[in-house]
Each structure stands twice: as C-alpha cells, then as structure tokens.
Amino acid sequence: MDKHSINFEKIEWIESGIGLRYKKMVNGSQQLRLVEFSEGFVEADWCLKGHAGIVMDGEFALDFNGRLEYFRKGDICFIPSGETDKHKAILSKGQKVTLLLFEIVDSEIL
C-alpha cells in the first residue's frame, strides 16, 4: 500500500455485526474507515467516540440522546467525543449508508 494513497478496493471488508462492515487503514494515531451500515444494524449502546466524515452514499439519522439529525450523500459530519455528543446511528427499513470516517486511533475503537 502506498504511504499517501489508499485503495480501499484492495482492503478486505471486516464484518463487525449484523448490518455493519468496514475497511480500515491506520497510520500512526490516525485511522480511516470506510463503514457500511445496512438493514438489520442496531447500535446497542451509545457511542462516545469522536468522528469526522462524509456520507459517500445513502442516508441515515444520528440520534443525539433523543434529538435526530439527518445525513445524506455528500453531507459531512463532525462529532466530538464525550457524553455530551453521545450518539447512535439509525437506519430505516431498507436503508443502506456508506461513510468515510476520519478518526483518532483508540484502543477501544472497532
């Protein structure tokens, strides 16, 4: 893999649960993840991690402790880490979304 160019087509999908798979590339303390949520995905616990990313395809909602925000293709999200911005991804029946996320590597991340 080139140090400055990432070809996600050459990286294997990691199935991480029902309706969730991702590809990742880690360089030092930075991580890129191509994430796909699809039908059947249910986030059991609140996510407290920070994320920045872009919706590559599809649409979904993020539940911020009862307040929904909607994202669709081309939208950019910036979510600080911590309890104040805890969140869960919500998909309607039949929905599928692909995100490219930029994250700081954390020992608890997927």
Instruction: Indicate whether 34 belongs to any domain.
Output: yes
Residue 2: predicted pLDDT? 61
pLDDT bracket for residue 1 (50, 70, 90): low
Is the sign of the CA dihedral 80, 73, 70, 75 positive or negative?
positive
Residue 2 lies inside a defined structural domain of this protein? no
Tens digits of residue pLDDT in 90-100? 998 999 999 99
CATH number of the domain encompassing residue 88? 2.60.120.10
Tens-place pLDDT, residues 25-83: 998 899 999 999 998 999 889 999 999 999 999 999 999 999 999 999 999 999 999 99
Q: What pLDDT score was predicted for residue 55?
A: 98
The total of structural domains in the chain comes to 1
pLDDT at 110: 43
**Parent domain of 72:** 8-104
Rg (CA), the chain: 14
In a domain, 3, yes or no: no
